[in-house]
Structure 1
Amino acid sequence: MDFSVFGDIDLGTIIAGVALIASVVAWLIDRYVLRRKRLVYRVQVDAPIGVYPSADKTQQMVDVEVRHQNAVVDNPSIVLLRLDNAGGMDIDPQDMHEKVSFAFPDRKIVGLKVTEAHPSSLGEMLQRRLVPANYVDTSKLVVPRIAINRGDHFKFLLVLSGTGKGVTHAGYLAGGSTGGGVYHEPRPRGPGRRSLMFGALSLLLVGALVALFVADVLQPPDNCASGQVRVIGSTAVEQTMREVRTAYAAECTDADITIAANGSRSGVRTLNETGAQDVGAAGKLIAMSDGPAEDSPELRGEAVAVVVFAVVANRSSDVAGLTTKQLRDIYSGKTTNWKQLGGRDLPIRMVSRVGPDSGSRRVFREKVLGGDQELGISSDDCRRDDDPAAKYHRCEVGTTEELLTRVNEIEGAIGYAELGSARKFPEIAIASVDGVVPDAAKVSDGSYKFWEVEHAYTYKTPEPDSLTAAFLDYLRSTQARPVLSRGGLVPCGDLPAGFCG
């Protein structure tokens, strides 16, 4: 084989480049295909506390006296430890089957603090859970069992006493399609000619590989059609339908598709009423419904995917899981403060969906509340109570997006929403229900109950060459499955036969 095309690049560099390609491919597969739960830590600082008399650090260090509670700390040192959820999935409290901990051999912890966190409420929760008195005179830091969403990170600053050096970890994570783990990420090396070259090469390779992945995932539709279609109905799947629309219209440029979610029942009612007045206009409508719609002789519906719903709470509640009984006590007004559930001393503020047109509200009432109705409204803006006599706090909003925004912003807030949308809000913690974390696998095995089958309805059978028919074909195609999955939906084609009815 002629290697002259590589110019002055030696064989070692070629081998390193091939190794880099393999590493990038492995990372992409691990992150986006295998869907592991990964908690990565990096020791950003591990050094004795002292002052060097000059820039030459080979000279002797001048000791600095460190006192804690009026006692001198012997051989003080400092450690800055950063942890990131670097995986493709959220980490739930139940995933820490064996508590994750960090040890500092031959050193004792004198003090610790959470110095940085994203989101900030995650740091506040950690600081509340970390009782300093429990760690003084110990060599181990145990990470509290809390929800750590994708992209979250936080830092521990520790002051230690002793002559040791180094940090070790223990514990593991469970969950994800292939499990998960805790990984050490070394500090990045300083830039050099070789590292810069490999850095540039890695960017090119990552770009090429991502392009290949995107080309494979976002395949063009099998058939394109022109015209207009308006998708109405469920707000729980509104964002996912926008992404499906974008994927379809990127190739089928003559398709004019509008997403105008207005609630499951409202959407089906609009479709039925439009058909009774103008069959042609109804032929350009698709109504998405959380669960089957009421019987109507002219409506044609089909199951598309399973929508996994979740109970969501503002992180300030400091409660990671709830039982069905506890949820029923909250929504009946018996439990009104998170302190009653082992959380903070904060009033529980229920944020619910408006009226009977919401499919999310109907599913929550049937699957979680056992058919019981929710309480009346005590607040118009979800923050302050307009009814001074009310012993509970509850408001209603029109869409899933509004509900999640309120829960994300308001301390003590709780609500319910589609899982995929809820994961995008940094101040929201997704609660387990009866010890089960919402997940597609838990739906399949029957252990998680808060879900519903999403249906797509048309008025009569759409014309075969219409955009309505083409878009419905795309919605149930293999090309659209990755888009549905990213939105937290489980395509019916990925579930056991008969699961969607």
Structure 2
Amino acid sequence: MPSSDRRARHSVDELTKQLLVAAYSEQDPSWIDEQAATAGERIAQAKQAQPSTAAGARRLSDAVVNRADPRRRTAGQRFVFGIALATVAVVAAVLGVTERQWVAEAAISAVGIGGVLAGVAVTSVGTIVSYVRSRRERVLSCRVRIDAPFGVDIGETVRLEGERHAVADPGVVVVRIKNTGGTAIDPEDYVSPLSLHFPGRTVVSVDATEFEPAELQKVLAGLPEFTIEQDRVKLPMIGLRPEHSFKLIIVLSGTKPGSKHQVVVEGGLREGRITTREGKQKVRPETLVWGGLTAICAGAFAVVLLLNNVTPFTRLPEGVSCVPGSLTAEGSSAFGRAATELAGTYHAYCPETSIRIRTPGSREGLERLADAAEDGTRHLAFSDGRFDEPQFRELVAQPLAIVPFTFVASDDVPVGSLSLRDARRIFTGAARVWSDITANPRDTGEIRVVGRSTDSGTRRTLERHVLSSTPGTQVGQVDPTSDSCRDRRPGVPPGLPIVCEQGSTGDLIDRVANLDGAIGYADVSDADQATGVKKINLDGYGATLGDIRDHDYPFWTVEYVYSHGRPEPGSLPEVFTTFLLARESSAVMEGFQYYSCVGEMGALCALR
């Protein structure tokens, strides 16, 4: 067959007849037609995924031979990956059995719920991304449909038209080339060209046929010719849209009947693969893994939700017992966020109990508790520091945690640290402009003092332990001169500082953040969560537990939980107070930089 005609389209029947006529020119046409019909039946069987009945025919392996694909794992890598997964499963099972109490406690906490929910989200996204990527992957299928010697009974050599030499042990290979992926394959997507290697045999000719769609024949005709290298056929880098395909019919010498012959598919695609599998791969293993992880996380999330709506079947942690009913705990706004978290944790263990948290301020919380004498079994109060006034003589205080405070200032304030003397000057009204503190005449901005009201336990801590130089005494914060914290009230002399008061820690921080030259004070936890303010050190030390213990940092107090008289054993106020001193609560409070008055912290709490 002339090389110039190699791209001409032929049907398989026509090619078979041409080969038979060239080999057996002396035979009559009826014999040629009979042999061609037999070959057609074999090809039809191959199209139905049945092996050819010709001698030497064989089934091809479905293994992918894509030497340019870097993502394929070796058997050793798969073994290591399997061992790692098995190890994780065994460790999880052991922990689930030996540490089931800890697992249950962690699961019903806010962190546990958030972690499992995050796991569901991550694995769901992984499943979707893996599925979408598999649908969009470039996949070029190169499936060998027929590999068999010519089924002739006379002689073992043929002479093809246009060939000088006879073809010894002739055979034919039919290959289907198809884009079975979800993305078009362009010529530049080839890492290395698609090649068919026939070890031990010699390629005689190659033809392209059965184009789908028919326009693909014109595309192929405009590309360089197939390259024949003894036992290898190298295809040009042809672009294929999804589902586009064509067939190759390759005539070989050396296809001996009864022998097994190999066809090696070589080549590589960028962000894709070349495969010998037929049809599309339904679901990739990676997608199945992600889907399995999603199912596991979703199941775990369902169990966590169940545990948060029914009493856990495991034993409650030490210090936690459940009493049905409702309880109101109110007072300190500085301790409000921590109190809310603690109430939520207790409710997670005891769903039939409702703990309501209100934060009107330490004094007001104590006053409401004192007024609730007839219903004292349903009330508690939180206070920053002790209130030993006569009106609270019926109340019993239980030290709960160390609460550090810090000064907070707007970002434009020209200091990052204050001496104790300067802090007293600012909050007693002795300093009016920032140059009074920095001694820099260019710092002419007015000092705007934002303080808490007299009901605040935080303010009492400032007056007792920062503004006062004598233990046991109290020096009052400067009286307010402004309602807006921006300008003085009408009639206030301009020589007085601008001072205003806020009813809660949150309001104070917001006001400081939005005023030039403003300074106030708050607990460390709320200050760290805020934006637009900076913390101001005192005598070079910060509001840390280490500086409190080792350097006598003064601006801190003890948070107390107050009850109306001593709670009755087994009552809800008694079991909730016990819970507040349990290990679970200590961990929650440390997250807010409060330190429980248990163990070695008890001696430090006793100092206040």
TM range (shorter): 0.5 to 0.7
Residues 496 and 13 from structure 1, CA distance in 2 versus in 1: closer, same or farther, beyond 3 angstroms?
same
Match in the other structure for 1:97: none
The yes-or-no answer on 1:450 pairing with 2:555 is yes
Match in the other structure for 1:381: 484
Aligned with residue 430 of structure 1, among 511, 531, 535: 535
The yes-or-no answer on 1:346 pairing with 2:451 is no
**Structure 1, unaligned stretches of length 5 or more?**
1-5, 21-31, 33-195
The yes-or-no answer on 1:294 pairing with 2:388 is yes
Deviation at 1:465, TM superposition (A): 2.5
Match in the other structure for 1:285: 379
Structure number having the greater helix percentage: 2
> How do 1:218-297 and structure 2 match up within 5 A?
222-275=320-373, 278=374, 281-294=375-388, 296-297=392-393
> How do 1:132-281 and structure 2 match up within 5 A?
222-275=320-373, 278=374, 281=375
Question: Deviation digits for residues 186-214 of structure 1, max 9, x if unmatched?
Answer: xxxxxxxxxx9x99999999999xx9xxx
The yes-or-no answer on 1:317 pairing with 2:416 is no
* 1:348–1:393 CA contact under 8 A, matched in 2: yes
* 2:318–2:582 CA contact under 8 A, matched in 1: no
Matched residue pairs, number?
318
Aligned with residue 332 of structure 1, among 428, 434, 459: 428
**Structure 2, unaligned stretches of length 5 or more?**
1-73, 89-110, 112-286, 305-311, 469-473
Deviation at 1:305, TM superposition (A): 0.6
Match in the other structure for 2:524: 419
Which one-letter code corresponds to 2:401 in the other structure? A
Which one-letter code corresponds to 2:508 in the other structure? L
Question: Deviation digits for residues 243-276 of structure 1, max 9, x if unmatched?
Answer: 111111122111111111222222222222321x
Distance 2:337 2:515 in 1: 22
Aligned with residue 306 of structure 1, among 402, 406, 410: 402
Residues 497 and 471 from structure 1, CA distance in 2 versus in 1: closer, same or farther, beyond 3 angstroms?
closer
Question: Deviation digits for residues 260-309 of structure 1, max 9, x if unmatched?
Answer: 1222222222222321xx1xx12211111111221554322111111111
> How do 1:11-50 and structure 2 match up within 5 A?
none
Query: Which secondary structure does the structure 2 equivalent of 1:480 belong to?
Result: helix
Residues 303 and 206 from structure 1, CA distance in 2 versus in 1: closer, same or farther, beyond 3 angstroms?
farther
Deviation at 1:10, TM superposition (A): 3.3
> How do 1:465-476 and structure 2 match up within 5 A?
465-476=570-581
Query: Which secondary structure does the structure 2 equivalent of 1:414 belong to?
Result: strand
Query: Which secondary structure does the structure 2 equivalent of 1:229 belong to?
Result: strand
Which one-letter code corresponds to 1:422 in the other structure? A
Structure number having the greater strand percentage: 1
Match in the other structure for 1:135: none
Distance 2:293 2:528 in 1: 30
Which one-letter code corresponds to 1:412 in the other structure? G
Distance 1:205 1:448 in 2: 50
The yes-or-no answer on 1:460 pairing with 2:565 is yes
Aligned with residue 591 of structure 2, among 482, 486, 499: 486
The yes-or-no answer on 1:10 pairing with 2:78 is yes
Distance 1:330 1:310 in 2: 14
Residues 334 and 206 from structure 1, CA distance in 2 versus in 1: closer, same or farther, beyond 3 angstroms?
farther
Which one-letter code corresponds to 2:535 in the other structure? I
Report which stretch shifted further, 246-255 or 296-305.
296-305
Distance 1:272 1:347 in 2: 42
Match in the other structure for 1:77: none
Query: Which secondary structure does the structure 2 equivalent of 1:287 belong to?
Result: strand
Distance 2:556 2:571 in 1: 32
Cα root mean square deviation, aligned = 4.1
Distance 1:312 1:204 in 2: 48
User: Quick one: percent identity of the two aligned structures?
Assistant: 28
* 1:220–1:248 CA contact under 8 A, matched in 2: no
> How do 1:110-149 and structure 2 match up within 5 A?
none
Deviation at 1:239, TM superposition (A): 1.1
Residues 297 and 320 from structure 1, CA distance in 2 versus in 1: closer, same or farther, beyond 3 angstroms?
closer
Deviation at 1:322, TM superposition (A): 0.5
Which one-letter code corresponds to 2:411 in the other structure? R
Question: Deviation digits for residues 372-407 of structure 1, max 9, x if unmatched?
Answer: 222222221223332452331111011111111111
Query: Which secondary structure does the structure 2 equivalent of 1:481 belong to?
Result: helix
- TM-score when normalising by structure 2: 0.46
Which one-letter code corresponds to 1:382 in the other structure? C
Distance 1:316 1:202 in 2: 50
Deviation at 1:466, TM superposition (A): 2.1
Distance 2:317 2:402 in 1: 22
Distance 2:481 2:507 in 1: 17
Residues 297 and 378 from structure 1, CA distance in 2 versus in 1: closer, same or farther, beyond 3 angstroms?
closer
Distance 1:297 1:376 in 2: 29
